[in-house]
Amino acid sequence: MIDTHAHIYLPEFDKDRPYVIDKAREAGITRILMPAIDSTTHSTMLKSEESHPECISMIGLHPCSVKENYEEELKVVNNYIKERSFIAIGEIGLDFYWDVSFREQQFDAFQRQIETAVENNIPIAIHSRNAVNECIEVVQQYPELRGVFHCFSGDVQQARQIIDCNFMLGIGGVVTFKNAGLDKVIKEIGMNNVILETDAPYLAPVPFRGKRNEPAYIKIVTEMLSRISGYSIDEIEKLTTANATRLFNLK
């Protein structure tokens, strides 16, 4: 299996990162894809990649990090892209949950990073908190674009719009939350456009909700998806791994 979205490089894992990665490997996780946040964490992310071959980096500017200096942050992203290849631009997008004072700057940063992804023929990983419809509207402007709506928590109609845009749905621990509503989405759309993720250290599945999340907990997500969809766990593992391998052009 592939954890397509985990911040394994953050300080929450500083004391036991090798152990957490070993535990993930034992759980059947062969690769951990790491979305970027901003220049304060790029170097630690890349060091984690160097130390652990299972970990593979994206690059990008998180919408919550879009502030007065976002132009400088975008320059940092572009400089990295000139230096080496990345599997995706991410995580990028819109977040209107915490703060909307940089709303226009978020749209600008989102679209400029999409254009970078298109130019480099790589996918994007979208963060869309309280902004799913807005992100869909932006993505619809780029028919050649592909990617994933990370931590998808929308409804069936939004899921279908996303799939029509040639995007995947990133499903993680939220699917185990009682009132999340993702069970209805999965029953309607099936598993053909789903990839697995944790968003570690955030959004741990039940029964670990509220505690540190980690890649090994993907197993809990597959068990829940099996109960909802009717697919066997083995089928879900194979299908989502094939989806992620194809989307991110993994070897």
Place of tokens 């994007």: 124
Ordered structural domains, the chain, with CATH: 2-247 (3.20.20.140)
Write b or e for each residue in 55-91: b if 16 or more Cβ atoms lie within 10 A of its Cβ, otherwise e.
Answer: bbbbbbbbbbbbeeebeebbebbeebbeeeebbbbbb
Report how far residue 152's alpha carbon sits from residue 150's, in angstroms, rounded to the nearest whole number.
5
The helix/strand/coil state of 200 is strand
pLDDT along the chain (251 residues), means of 10: 98 97 96 98 97 97 96 97 96 92 96 97 97 97 97 95 97 94 94 97 96 98 96 97 97 81
pLDDT digits (tens, 9 = 90+) for 91-107: 999 999 988 899 999 99
Proportion of the chain in helix, strand, coil states, percent, rounded to 5: 45, 15, 40
Each residue's pLDDT tens digit, 125-180: 999 999 999 999 999 999 999 999 999 989 999 999 999 999 999 999 999 998 88
Rounded to two decimals, what is the model's pTM? Answer: 0.96
Helix (H) or strand (E) holding 77: helix 70-83
